């Protein structure tokens, strides 16, 4: 099948490359000239393990191409995906849908013959209705169906998630009508390579599909926030949050995923999606109190990270040097969006500290966001002369640091481990002042 993917960001590029790897002919479209130029040179503008090889293979095989001018690709496509950004709108927290609606208008002017217009971007309930209205208003004669197909890709494991998903949610209105049946047939054919064992496709009404995405992310954000609050309680009563998490996670009704205490959630999805769900629910007159509290607790947690560093150091931060290991919101990505480090570093600097940092993939992006942080070429460069080292992101290379070397390089051996990478007894035996999360 022929696919046009509008947007070559994280969602669009990963989805386009994976569809091409399924055997479809995919054109990825983006207005950003510099991004297209980099892709044409074989440079991947985002870090995602395995994506560079996947793109190269499918470009070489003639199944994947990129362009700024997507007119021909849209005209000839069986399905046109909208994979543009939907950031939080300044002022009210609603999802900014301007890029989505601009894409819908562009599609309306170009489609020929029956076309399935698929919303891959994360959008609030009812967005599909507005996309349909925009296209119908501009092209009363057009034959099309608007479908919701939210993404559930974890950064760092996106290709695996696309090719071996827990589920693929597809929202089609009036599925028993001729138009709905045609749309379902197109979507089923696009995802047919996933049907080798058992089909993961879940067909719903369009509004239901749109809400599933927000509900899933909000639930996971709530689960993270819950275990973080349990970690705070553990610190007060002398319990171990890792054992608490294991104990409750063995209950199959709860499960063990997203029960890792830390500095609070960040990234491209959870912060904006929880906020957008809160706004949608409030506007609908059905407030989601649990999610409102989740947002507030998570924001407060990240705001208090500098206090944790100060308390562990047992001293004023003024004139001290703090080394941050890890800056991105999670490992195996260069994504800095809403990363805890964006709250921590400025608070440390405001308290008078000098901040040195190292991240395996995120420093280029971080440097623009944290101009007052000294970026270093490696973890040992970051800790040299530091009064305290803070593990912010649990990259694999931070799990086996030469702790004796670090101790010699630092002014004093103090570690704040926001990801519980190391064992408290081992660290104290090495002579460190050590603070983890939720452990006695």
With contact defined as beta carbons under 8 Å apart, do 157 and 50 qualify? no
Helix axes 51-60, 10-21, angle to 10 degrees: 50
Helix, strand, coil abundance in the chain, percent, nearest 5: 45, 15, 40
* Gap between the Cα atoms of 338 and 302, Å rounded: 10
Query: Could you say which of 18, 28, 234, 269 is catalytic?
Result: 269
* Gap between the Cα atoms of 74 and 70, Å rounded: 6
Neighbours of 409 (CB within 10 A): 19
Q: Which residue, 68, 69, 58, is CA-closest to 25?
A: 58
With contact defined as beta carbons under 8 Å apart, do 128 and 117 qualify? no
CA 214 → CA 109, 208, 270, 391, distances in Å? 30, 10, 9, 30
Q: Which residue, 192, 97, 181, 190, is CA-closest to 145?
A: 181
CA 220 → CA 70, 178, 224, 372, distances in Å? 36, 37, 6, 33
Q: Is 269 a catalytic residue?
A: yes
Phi first, then psi: what are they for 161, rounded to 5°?
-65, -40
Coil, helix or strand at residue 268:
coil
Give the dihedral sign, CA 177/180/182/184: negative
Residues tagged active-site: 269
């Amino acid at each position: 099948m022929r696919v046009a993917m509008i947007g070559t960001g994280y969602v669009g590029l990963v989805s386009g490359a994976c569809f091409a790897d399924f055997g479809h002919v995919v054109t990825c479209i983006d207005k950003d000239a510099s991004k297209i130029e980099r892709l044409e040179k074989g440079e991947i503008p985002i870090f995602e393990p395995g994506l560079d090889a996947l793109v190269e293979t499918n470009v070489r095989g003639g199944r994947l191409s990129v362009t700024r001018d997507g007119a021909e690709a849209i005209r000839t496509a069986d399905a046109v995906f909208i994979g543009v950004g939907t950031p939080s709108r300044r002022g009210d927290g609603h999802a900014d849908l301007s890029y989505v609606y601009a894409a819908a208008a562009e599609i309306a002017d170009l489609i020929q013959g029956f076309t399935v217009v698929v919303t891959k971007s994360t959008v609030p309930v009812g967005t599909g209705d507005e996309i349909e209205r925009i296209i119908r208003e501009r092209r009363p004669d057009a034959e099309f169906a608007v479908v919701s197909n939210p993404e559930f890709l974890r950064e760092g494991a996106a290709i695996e998630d696309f090719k071996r998903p827990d589920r693929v949610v597809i929202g089609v209105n009036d599925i028993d009508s001729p138009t709905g049946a045609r749309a379902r047939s197109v979507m089923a054919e696009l995802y047919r390579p996933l049907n080798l064992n058992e089909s993961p496709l879940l067909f719903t009404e369009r509004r239901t599909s749109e809400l599933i995405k927000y509900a899933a992310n909000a639930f996971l954000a709530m689960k993270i926030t819950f275990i973080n609050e349990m970690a705070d309680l553990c610190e007060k009563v002398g319990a171990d949050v890792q054992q608490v998490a294991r104990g409750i996670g063995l209950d199959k009704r709860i499960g063990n995923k997203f029960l890792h205490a830390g500095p609070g959630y960040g990234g491209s999805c959870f912060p904006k999606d929880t906020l957008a769900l809160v706004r949608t629910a409030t506007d609908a007159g059905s407030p989601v109190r649990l999610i409102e509290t989740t947002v507030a607790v998570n924001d407060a947690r990240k705001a208090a990270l500098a206090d944790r560093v100060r308390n562990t150091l047992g001293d004023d931060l003024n004139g001290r040097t703090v080394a941050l290991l890890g800056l991105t919101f999670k490992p195996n990505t260069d994504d800095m969006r809403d990363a805890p480090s964006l709250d921590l570093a400025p608070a440390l600097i405001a308290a008078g500290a000098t901040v040195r940092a190292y991240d395996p993939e995120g420093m280029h992006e971080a440097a623009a966001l944290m101009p007052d942080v000294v970026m270093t070429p490696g973890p040992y460069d970051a800790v040299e002369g530091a009064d305290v080292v803070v593990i912010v992101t649990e990259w694999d290379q931070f799990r086996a640091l030469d702790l004796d070397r670090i101790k010699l390089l630092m002014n004093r051996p103090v570690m704040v481990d926001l990801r519980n990478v190391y064992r408290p007894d081992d660290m104290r035996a090495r002579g460190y002042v050590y603070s983890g999360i939720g452990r006695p």
